[in-house]
């Protein structure tokens, strides 16, 4: 619980109304009750405020405020909603230390406030920074380094030598540092190329459930600061992903490709190996990059094309049988005309 | 082992032949030996019965029965096969209680007949119903509720507050209740929107290996009674899936979409976010729903179209280069005709 | 560290230069320093050797060797690189026995040199061959058999009765033997068909992180000797994959399909159920096999077509709107000509 003044200060907004009203939780506009705060990010939902029982509303500037409603006017109501939700409804998990049933190698170096749940196994020479929490079943191989205030969820695995910086979140069963997929043909069979590199996850990276980031063959696979991976994403060996990227679920990025800053890739999309993708590239769901991509583009399809052109082409696809039929008929009509003209 | 009369009663079928013959196991028609029961669901395999050594056969009514073979005549031989297989070859796992090496919070409330294997970690205030089995390495976060007679396979994870009803099956490493993928842009970076909702899996739901069902941002993600998810399926936050749906492997359903009852989606298909899919919708393998879908349709492709039309369009796709060439040639011929006519 | 003569002997190459020079590690051509060995598999990188500080170079025969460089001339420099990397930089993990915190059933039969890390759970009657290592959190259900010199990485799961032959590698969280996806319709609902078969992984198979190989309904699912699966691959029940295949990340193979020897499937590709794929078949990224495929083909697309034809068709796809417009215009022009000719 917090009063409206506290929340306005938190989000850097302008308070209009009663600063002392107590807010207990955040709720969507169609469910909010007394004691709740809600938000209007899209003006088309403004009309719903008349029937809304929320005690306060987060609103963008320039929107006509309804009368008699407590308001916080702020540039980005959606961001403000997220910050208030964090404050009100996400209790800081208490530091619980090394719990019974965790197995920690003697040579591991854990900051005092680290929490290690039962069922975790922490290898030799592992270092873990202050405030980090390992949920049950987490496995850290030898020589792993984890920064401060990381959340490593249940059954996540970080293999030997990989490094996580600060405030990294691994969702359950995320796998960091498994072997890259490298084999040298030896006749018809394949010889495994040792994968002796590592993975580095920079500050504020989040990796979704079941997602895999493969270790480099030599050198590093690296995910840049602030980049977020959804669930079941595959990142091949020696890939570099820049800062502040969003990779939606079930994406595959093949080995040795480089992705720039602030890119957004839709679900089930893919990047082939050894490519360079620029900054601020958006790739639509299921898009497939088979060649290098310059910065500042919105692309879809496989092969990639400008998103709007792709939309137009997909709209024609269902007409293909009709087009083929038309072509055949026109060919016949052309032949008839030609023979007619030849006769004359 | 059971005699044929017992099996006929189990499947509600009509026995023709020796009620006392003992059946030891179920086998495919081309491998069945004496003591086995086999089934013919497809009449085209009927001829194989002549060479088959099975002691009995499950057969649909109206099919000409071969002579001298013990039969159970039943409406759905495939279903009968499954029920007999369950009886004969799936021993009820004995209740083994809380085994050494499991870690259970003091405040957890487990029914007496629950089995918890070594390596499991059960959080505070967790409730588990009678007959449920947790295989090794399962992690239940605080405040999870699991119903009766559930099978939770090795290394599956259920995060805080999520609820599984009765007879739910989680295959190994299924992840229930990981954070939904929600971020508010804050300049070029992203602020994590807390995911404070839960996941509810209703009665008789099965979730495949490595599949992920994300917790809601606010409220619930819900999978309806009897719905089955194959392996490596991704369900986004706040999704609702109706009852008796079949979602084949590697499907992705993006956040806040609603799927009706009795839908069947093929492998690697996808549903974009914030959509409504009706009841009895079939989507072919790799189909992609980008818009709402009304009930009772069979669709394929991306964008979705009627399955038969999609088949026709895909058959034309390899002809595209030829069609383009034809178009160019026809254009030229048209121009020649036009210039000829202009001259005349 | 090893001297150049040792390395030349290891890879069966011809030494040109100083046999006694000591090599410490393998490095890419653009990063190699004194004490390193590098390789040139592609002649276009040959020019870079002038600026390279490596103490030795692996080179294919017939390539003009630069002067004053220690060389090992060998038929397959990439394979030689892999073998030397293994020798120099992959220390044999020491056998550590059954470590405190591992739970082993009394009836399990483990060879003396087996390593079992903390957090592993090994079921009844499990057999494990000499030199095999189970990393933390591995779960082996009852009656599993694991051969010699296998590496089973953290949190991998092998369910009841499955068999791994020798030198099998499971990356973290690989799931072997989860239930196949089989249900018999019973009205609108589905009855689970028990999956009582097993999985067999032959010698030298590698399974990627989070990949799933489902157990057979009856009989076996089998992955042939030397076949490698990348991460997040799905193999359905009763599938047979031949020897020496390469299956890249996020592939799905549906139930009961058979794949021949020495096939290579690109990322996110798929094979529908109950198909036969021949030997030496290459399927490009995201290709989809909907029908049987004869041996010795390079195919792409869905439906599959020869790779070169697929490339040509995908190049036409962005032209579809223009082609449709052309068709309409030509139709109109045809009509004008026809009416003109009718008049005359």
pLDDT digits (tens, 9 = 90+) for A258-306: 999 999 999 999 999 999 999 999 999 999 999 999 999 999 999 999 9
Partner residue opposite A175 with nearest CB, options C172, C249, C331? C172
Two tokens, residue B169: 């099956």
**Which pLDDT band, with edges at 50, 70 and 90, does B65 fall under?**
confident
Two tokens, residue B128: 């588990």
- For residue B176, give how far its alpha carbon lies from the nearest alpha carbon of chain C (Å): 16
- Whole-number pLDDT of residue B95: 87
Interacting residues of C218 by C-beta distance below 8 A, sequence separation 6+: B26, B27, B28, C196, C197, C238
User: Phi, psi (5° rounding) for residue C289?
Assistant: -85, 115
B41 vs A291: which has the higher pLDDT: A291
Query: For residue range C173-227, what is the model confidence (pLDDT) as tens digits?
Result: 999 999 999 999 999 999 999 999 999 999 999 999 999 999 999 999 999 999 9
Query: For residue range C36-65, what is the model confidence (pLDDT) as tens digits?
Result: 999 987 777 888 888 888 999 999 988 777
Contacts of B98 in chain A (CB under 8 A): none
Interacting residues of B199 by C-beta distance below 8 A, sequence separation 6+: B159, B162, B163, B176, B177, B213, B214, B215, B216, B220, B221, B222, B223
Is the pLDDT at A68 greater than 90, yes or no?
A: no
The DSSP secondary-structure symbol of C44 reads G
Name which of B38, B44, B35 is nearest B2 in CA terms.
Answer: B35
Length of chain A: 344
Asked if residue B247 lies in contact with residue B230, where contact means CB atoms within 8 angstroms, the answer is: yes
**Three-state SS at B147:** coil
Q: What is the pTM of this model?
A: 0.96
The whole-chain average pLDDT of chain C stands at 95
Q: Which residue of A has its CA nearest to C89?
A: A196
CB spacing of C210 vs A173 below 8 angstroms: yes
Is the pLDDT at B50 greater than 90, yes or no?
A: no
Which residue has 């058999």 as its token pair? C145
Is the pLDDT at B191 greater than 80, yes or no?
A: yes
Name which of B260, B261, B311 is nearest B285 in CA terms.
Answer: B311
Mean pLDDT of A129-152: 98
On whether any CB of chain C is under 8 Å from the CB of B101, the answer is: yes
Name which of B204, B269, B262 is nearest B234 in CA terms.
Answer: B269
Partner residue opposite B86 with nearest CB, options C194, C303, C305? C194
Q: Which residue of C has its CA nearest to B329?
A: C330
- For residue B15, give how far its alpha carbon lies from the nearest alpha carbon of chain C (Å): 21
- Give chains near A: 3+ CB pairs under 8 A: B, C
- Whole-number pLDDT of residue B66: 75
Asked if residue B229 lies in contact with residue B206, where contact means CB atoms within 8 angstroms, the answer is: yes
The single residue of A165, A237, A262, A307 carrying the catalytic annotation is: A237
DSSP B236-284: -TT-EE-TT-EE-TT-EE-TT-EE-SS-EE-TT-EE-TT-EE-SS-EE-
Is the pLDDT at C3 greater than 90, yes or no?
A: yes
Name which of A69, C33, C159, A225 is nearest B190 in CA terms.
Answer: A225
> Exposed (0-12), middle (13-18) or buried (19+): which is C181, by Cβ within 10 Å?
buried
Cβ neighbours, 10 Å, residue A106: 6
Least-confidence region, from A255-259, B46-50, C151-155 = B46-50
- For residue C33, give how far its alpha carbon lies from the nearest alpha carbon of chain A (Å): 14
Partner residue opposite C337 with nearest CB, options B327, B331, B338? B338
Two tokens, residue A103: 């197995």
Rg of chain B on CA atoms, in Å: 27
Query: Could you give the maximum distance between any two Cα atoms of chain B, in Å?
Result: 101
**Which pLDDT band, with edges at 50, 70 and 90, does B33 fall under?**
very high
The whole-chain average pLDDT of chain B stands at 95
- For residue A187, give how far its alpha carbon lies from the nearest alpha carbon of chain B (Å): 33
Cβ neighbours, 10 Å, residue B231: 33
CB spacing of A214 vs C231 below 8 angstroms: yes
**Which pLDDT band, with edges at 50, 70 and 90, does B344 fall under?**
confident
Two tokens, residue B329: 């040639």
For chains A and C, count residue pairs whose Cβ atoms are closer than 8 Å: 186
Element at A334 (helix H, strand E): helix A320-343
Q: Is the dihedral of CA C15, C20, C24, C28 positive or negative?
A: negative
Residues 251-310 of chain C whose Cβ lies under 8 A from any Cβ of chain A? 261-262, 267-268, 285-286
Mean pLDDT of B98-117: 97
**CA atoms of B273 and B256, how far apart (whole Å):** 6
- Whole-number pLDDT of residue B46: 81
Q: Which residue of C has its CA nearest to A137?
A: C137
On whether any CB of chain C is under 8 Å from the CB of B340, the answer is: no
Query: For residue range A214-268, what is the model confidence (pLDDT) as tens digits?
Result: 999 999 999 999 999 999 999 999 999 999 999 999 999 999 999 999 999 999 9
Mean pLDDT of C291-305: 97
On whether any CB of chain A is under 8 Å from the CB of C244, the answer is: yes
Residues 44-83 of chain B whose Cβ lies under 8 A from any Cβ of chain A? none
Is the pLDDT at B41 greater than 90, yes or no?
A: no
Active-site annotation holds for C237:
yes
Partner residue opposite B79 with nearest CB, options C184, C212, C323? C184
- Whole-number pLDDT of residue C64: 76
**CA atoms of B59 and B76, how far apart (whole Å):** 8
Least-confidence region, from A263-272, B61-70, B138-147 = B61-70
Contacts of A317 in chain C (CB under 8 A): 320
The DSSP secondary-structure symbol of B145 reads E
CB spacing of B184 vs A100 below 8 angstroms: no
Which residue has 């602020």 as its token pair? B191
CB spacing of C249 vs A181 below 8 angstroms: yes
Is the pLDDT at C28 greater than 90, yes or no?
A: no
Cβ neighbours, 10 Å, residue A343: 6
Asked if residue A267 lies in contact with residue A286, where contact means CB atoms within 8 angstroms, the answer is: yes
CB spacing of A316 vs C314 below 8 angstroms: no
- Whole-number pLDDT of residue B153: 98
ipTM of the complex: 0.96
Contacts of C208 in chain A (CB under 8 A): 178, 181, 212
- Whole-number pLDDT of residue A28: 86
CB spacing of A312 vs C327 below 8 angstroms: no
User: Phi, psi (5° rounding) for residue A299?
Assistant: -125, 155
- Whole-number pLDDT of residue C315: 96
User: Phi, psi (5° rounding) for residue A148?
Assistant: -90, 150
C-alpha neighbours within 13 Å on the C-beta side of residue A200: 15
Residue A265: strand pairing partners: A247, A283
- Whole-number pLDDT of residue A47: 82
Mean pLDDT of A118-139: 98
- Whole-number pLDDT of residue A91: 84
Mean pLDDT of C89-102: 90
On whether any CB of chain A is under 8 Å from the CB of C103, the answer is: no
CB spacing of A231 vs B214 below 8 angstroms: yes
**Which pLDDT band, with edges at 50, 70 and 90, does A183 fall under?**
very high
CB spacing of C82 vs A218 below 8 angstroms: no
Element at B224 (helix H, strand E): none
**Which pLDDT band, with edges at 50, 70 and 90, does C274 fall under?**
very high
On whether any CB of chain C is under 8 Å from the CB of A321, the answer is: no
Is the pLDDT at A344 greater than 80, yes or no?
A: no
Least-confidence region, from A340-344, B34-38, C106-110, C170-174 = A340-344
**Three-state SS at C295:** coil
Partner residue opposite B302 with nearest CB, options A208, A248, A286? A286
Q: Is the dihedral of CA C288, A239, A147, B195 positive or negative?
A: negative
**Three-state SS at A179:** coil
The single residue of B153, B237, B262, B274 carrying the catalytic annotation is: B237
Is the pLDDT at A67 greater than 90, yes or no?
A: no
Interacting residues of A37 by C-beta distance below 8 A, sequence separation 6+: A4, A7, A23, A25, A26, A27, A54, A55, A56, A57, A58, A72, A81, A84
- Whole-number pLDDT of residue C337: 93
DSSP C169-212: EE-TT-EEEEPP--EEEETTEEEEPP---EEEE-TT-EE-TT-E
- For residue C322, give how far its alpha carbon lies from the nearest alpha carbon of chain A (Å): 9
On whether any CB of chain B is under 8 Å from the CB of A136, the answer is: yes
- Whole-number pLDDT of residue B310: 97
Cβ neighbours, 10 Å, residue B15: 17
Q: Which residue of C has its CA nearest to B76?
A: C186
**Which pLDDT band, with edges at 50, 70 and 90, does C105 fall under?**
very high
Which residue has 């690989």 as its token pair? C174
CB spacing of A188 vs C117 below 8 angstroms: no
**CA atoms of B196 and B174, how far apart (whole Å):** 20
> Exposed (0-12), middle (13-18) or buried (19+): which is C231, by Cβ within 10 Å?
buried
Partner residue opposite B85 with nearest CB, options C119, C194, C302? C194
How far lies A127's CA from each of A114, A131, A144, in Å?
11, 13, 7
**CA atoms of B70 and B13, how far apart (whole Å):** 12
Report helix, strand and coil shares of chain C as percent, to nearest 5.
20, 30, 50
On whether any CB of chain B is under 8 Å from the CB of C100, the answer is: no
Which residue has 């082409």 as its token pair? A313
How far lies B308's CA from each of B299, B314, C320, in Å?
8, 10, 21
- For residue C262, give how far its alpha carbon lies from the nearest alpha carbon of chain A (Å): 7
The single residue of C117, C153, C165, C237 carrying the catalytic annotation is: C237
- Whole-number pLDDT of residue A41: 79
Least-confidence region, from A196-205, B37-46, B129-138, B191-200 = B37-46
Q: What's the CA angle centered on C255, arms C253 and C261, to 5 degrees? A: 55
Alpha helices in chain B (DSSP H): 4-11, 77-89, 307-316, 320-343
On whether any CB of chain C is under 8 Å from the CB of A105, the answer is: no
How far lies A97's CA from each of A105, A112, B105, C341, in Å?
15, 7, 16, 93
How far lies A75's CA from each of A60, A62, C335, in Å?
5, 10, 59
């Amino acid at each position: 619980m917090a009063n409206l003044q506290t929340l306005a200060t938190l989000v850097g907004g302008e308070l209009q109304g009663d600063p002392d009203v107590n807010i207990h939780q955040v709720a969507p506009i169609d469910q909010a009750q007394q004691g709740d705060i809600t938000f209007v990010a899209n003006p088309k939902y403004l009309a719903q405020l008349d029937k809304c029982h929320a005690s306060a509303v987060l609103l963008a500037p320039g929107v006509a405020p309804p009368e008699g409603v407590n308001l916080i006017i702020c540039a980005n109501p959606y961001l403000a909603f997220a910050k208030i939700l964090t404050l009100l409804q996400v209790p800081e998990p208490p530091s619980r230390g090394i719990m019974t049933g965790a197995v920690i190698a003697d040579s591991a170096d854990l900051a005092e406030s680290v929490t290690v749940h039962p069922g975790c196994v922490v290898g030799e020479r592992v270092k873990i920074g202050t405030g980090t929490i390992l949920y049950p079943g987490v496995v850290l191989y030898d020589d792993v380094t984890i920064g401060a205030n990381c959340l490593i969820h249940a059954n996540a695995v970080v293999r030997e030598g990989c490094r996580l910086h600060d405030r990294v979140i691994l969702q359950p069963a995320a796998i960091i540092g498994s072997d890259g997929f490298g084999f040298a043909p030896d006749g018809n069979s394949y010889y495994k190329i040792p994968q002796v590199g590592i993975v580095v996850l920079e500050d504020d990276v989040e990796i979704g459930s079941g997602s895999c980031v493969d270790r480099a063959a030599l050198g590093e696979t690296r995910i840049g600061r602030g980049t977020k991976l959804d669930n079941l994403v595959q990142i091949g060996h020696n890939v570099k992903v820049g800062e502040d990227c969003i990779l939606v679920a079930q994406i595959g990025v093949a080995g040795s490709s480089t992705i720039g800053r602030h890119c957004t890739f839709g679900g089930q999309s893919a990047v082939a190996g050894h490519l360079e993708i620029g900054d601020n590239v958006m790739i639509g769901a299921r898009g497939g990059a088979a060649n290098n991509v310059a910065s500042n583009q919105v692309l879809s399809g496989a092969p990639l094309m400008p998103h709007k052109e792709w939309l137009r082409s997909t709209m024609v696809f269902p007409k293909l049988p009709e087009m083929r039929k038309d072509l055949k008929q026109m060919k016949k009509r052309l032949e008839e005309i030609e023979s007619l003209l030849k006769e004359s």
